Chains A and B, each alone.
Chain A
Amino acid sequence: MPAPGGGWLTAGMTTRSEGTGISVQGLTKKFGDFTAVDDLSFEVAPGRVTGFLGPNGAGKTTTLRMLLGLIRPTAGEALIGGRRYAELPQPMSTVGSALEATGFHPGRSGRNHLRVLAATHGIPDSRVDELLDLVGIPAAARKKAGGYSMGMRQRLGLAAALLGDPDVLLLDEPANGLDPEGIRWMRGFMRHLAAEQGKTVLVSSHLLGEVEQTVEDVVIIANGRLARRGTMDELHGDPAVLVRTSDPGALGHALESAGLSAALDQEQGPDALRVGTGDLRQVGDIALAAGQPVHELRPLRTDLERLFLELTESPEHRNRNLSTGQEAA
């Protein structure tokens, strides 16, 4: 429940219309002599959906847990709306979170799990039922949580996050374990939260494809360090398509006279052209009009996709705990 808005009472505080942002400054966490998060700094803009990306073991969950006061940072600060989580007067009404490995008592029903959480904030049971309807498990939530599928657990976790009608949502790999239908539902849901309700959403994932259609900004980390951040458009760079033909010179000429940039792409072979557009149909039409055959036509990876692939594939960026032997600093 949002706090009753009162003129002078809220003056100077972050109000709903301005939204609540997140700020991470010099955040570091060491487990023994292993550095899981390393001098990490970034901001999450209010009212936007930000993807928090990184390969397995990059430190995403650890960062989110520090934001939520579950893990004590070795150094640095993680603030939500300018405050530490434990200092928020009614935390669930400011921040809703669904973390990995959040458990449910197997003998307690999902509905009762939510009722327990609701009791901490004086939230009525009617709100619990409202949310169970919203996430689509009103009947199943009356059964014991021990028998829940992964999808039901994720939905229940999401309902818990939304209980206090928070301004900020922190979602840790919300699509994990969901089937394609579930993932589609989750994407639509996040978009709905950000677009229609103006909530700040920070959603983590180790798969770019899982969130790229949903998020506006991205923060990418690897080995606990910031790798890249920016808006989705900035990081994607300009779209490009690859077209393969028998006479690249002739087709290149036709494309250029239609106002598109075209260049030989040696990486892809002698017969490949890289065209500066995202529009496959236009390239195909131009080729047809020019009487040139098309052997292959597909979109090329964007800068962001290449960067992400590099991060996940290069051994030096893999989870250092998983790799064997001594790791080079």
Chain B
Amino acid sequence: MISLVRAELRKYFTTRLAWSMPLAMAVLGALFAALQGLFLAVIGEFPSPDGTMIEPAAMFGEDAVARLVYTGAVQMGYLLALVLGILSMSGEFRHKTITATLLAAPRRGQLIGAKLASIVVVVAVNALAFTAGSILGGAITLSIGDLPLFPDPGGLLATFARMVLVLVLWGLMGFGLGVLIPNQVVALFVGVGVTLLVEPLLGLGITFVDQLADASKYFPSQASMSALDLFAGIDPSLAQSLGGSEDALSWWVATLVLLGYAAVMAALGWILTARRDIA
């Protein structure tokens, strides 16, 4: 089993993806964190309850602004993590390496286990690059806005840890998707499309249905935001103005929800792979 994980990691580290993906992670992290910082720390102003315009830091506190800036790119991050997860299996079908892989590891349950473990490691490594990029991009704009870079170091560390965890969980969800849809292009298209388009539209749609109005907070993207616990210590009604939902899940329930998605997807991947003919 350990040797299968080692082989899977070797697979990842012997293609261009090994450096291009962390690079993309770091660059996009820096870019979107800087963009978020631009609005929250440099040029952004919000209408305060008495009607005058005030800066976000004055309204939400410096802690919250730093958190929001550093995690400003998280959507990019988990999309890329999803892609990493998808590629693990669909890449094998695309390049027809699945035959060689299964000849070396014919017990398919073990292979799936090894792939899941390697995705955790690979996405975690990439998430570190992503976090480093986010810190760089965020810190630049925070310092331009004359805000403290690390107002609450312990709290920020926890936020970064949660961000890494969220990315890892998206990687695992991607794995299931890659098994479900062995055609790599279609799988990527569906994965990114559902996250960026279908989920928000569906979320909007069901706000008009009373019984379902609450459901959207369980959707992967919404749950991911909750899992980051960005709005700790902020009045819920204020949080709404920043895109948080009023009755969001608590961070640990949200984490469990994501874990649930990942588990269901991985289990589907497991069952499908065990039965599939490789012809």
Q: Which of A97, A108, A122, A160 has the most CB of B within 10 A?
A: A108
Please name all residues of chain A whose beta carbon is closer than 8 Å to the beta carbon of B103 when the two chains form the complex.
68, 70, 91-92, 97, 99
Q: Do residues A119 and B6 form an inter-chain contact, with CB atoms below 8 A? A: yes
Q: Do residues B15 and A101 form an inter-chain contact, with CB atoms below 8 A? A: no
A89-129 contacts to B (CB < 8 Å)? 91-92, 97, 99, 101-109, 112-113, 115-117, 119-122
Query: CB of B100 within 8 A of chain A?
Result: yes
Q: Do residues B10 and A115 form an inter-chain contact, with CB atoms below 8 A? A: yes
Q: Do residues B99 and A121 form an inter-chain contact, with CB atoms below 8 A? A: no
Q: A102, A103, A109, A116: which contacts B7 (Cβ < 8 A)?
A: A116
Please name all residues of chain A whose beta carbon is closer than 8 Å to the beta carbon of B4 when the two chains form the complex.
120
Query: CB of B182 within 8 A of chain A?
Result: no
Query: CB of B197 within 8 A of chain A?
Result: no
Query: What mask results when residues 248 to 276 of chain B are scored 1 for a CB within 8 Å of chain A, else 0?
Result: 00000000000000000000000000010
Give bound CA distance, A115 to B241, whole Å.
53
Q: Do residues B95 and A105 form an inter-chain contact, with CB atoms below 8 A? A: yes
Q: Do residues A103 and B10 form an inter-chain contact, with CB atoms below 8 A? A: no
Q: B14, B99, B104, B278: which contacts A112 (Cβ < 8 A)?
A: B14
Please name all residues of chain B whose beta carbon is closer than 8 Å to the beta carbon of A102 when the two chains form the complex.
96-97, 99-100
Q: Do residues A104 and B104 form an inter-chain contact, with CB atoms below 8 A? A: no
A149-183 contacts to B (CB < 8 Å)? 160
Q: Do residues B107 and A86 form an inter-chain contact, with CB atoms below 8 A? A: yes
B1-30 contacts to A (CB < 8 Å)? 3-4, 6-7, 10-11, 14-16
Q: Do residues B16 and A107 form an inter-chain contact, with CB atoms below 8 A? A: yes
Q: A86, A105, A107: which contacts B106 (Cβ < 8 A)?
A: A86
Q: Do residues A160 and B10 form an inter-chain contact, with CB atoms below 8 A? A: no
Query: CB of B277 within 8 A of chain A?
Result: yes
Query: CB of A308 within 8 A of chain B?
Result: no
Please name all residues of chain A whose beta carbon is closer than 8 Å to the beta carbon of B277 when the two chains form the complex.
70-72
Q: How many residues of B contact A (CB 8 A)?
A: 26
Q: Do residues B99 and A119 form an inter-chain contact, with CB atoms below 8 A? A: no
Query: CB of A52 within 8 A of chain B?
Result: no
Q: B7, B11, B102: which contacts A69 (Cβ < 8 A)?
A: B102
Query: CB of B279 within 8 A of chain A?
Result: yes
Please name all residues of chain A whose beta carbon is closer than 8 Å to the beta carbon of B275 when the two chains form the complex.
72
Query: CB of A62 within 8 A of chain B?
Result: yes
Q: Do residues B7 and A101 form an inter-chain contact, with CB atoms below 8 A? A: no
Closest B residue to A105 by CB, please name it.
B95
Query: What mask results when residues 298 to 316 of chain A are scored 1 for a CB within 8 Å of chain B, else 0?
Result: 0000000000000000000
Given that A71-B277, A103-B95 are known contacts, is A109 also in contact with B3, CB under 8 Å in the complex?
Answer: no
Q: Do residues B7 and A105 form an inter-chain contact, with CB atoms below 8 A? A: no
Please name all residues of chain B whose beta carbon is closer than 8 Å to the beta carbon of A106 when the two chains form the complex.
95
Query: CB of B91 within 8 A of chain A?
Result: yes
Closest A residue to B2 by CB, please name it.
A122
Query: What mask results when residues 205 to 244 of chain A are scored 1 for a CB within 8 Å of chain B, else 0?
Result: 0000000000000000000000000000000000000000
Please name all residues of chain B whose beta carbon is closer than 8 Å to the beta carbon of A60 when the two chains form the complex.
none
Query: Nearest-CB distance from A321 to chain B (Å)?
Result: 13
Please name all residues of chain B whose beta carbon is closer than 8 Å to the beta carbon of A274 when the two chains form the complex.
none
Besides A70-B277, A88-B106, A104-B97, 20 more A-B contacts (Cβ < 8 Å) are: A68-B103, A68-B106, A69-B106, A71-B278, A71-B279, A72-B277, A86-B107, A97-B103, A102-B97, A102-B99, A102-B100, A103-B95, A103-B96, A105-B15, A105-B95, A108-B11, A116-B7, A116-B14, A119-B10, A120-B104
A-B contact pairs, 11 of them (CB 8 A): A68-B106, A70-B279, A86-B106, A91-B106, A99-B99, A104-B97, A107-B16, A108-B11, A116-B10, A119-B6, A160-B100
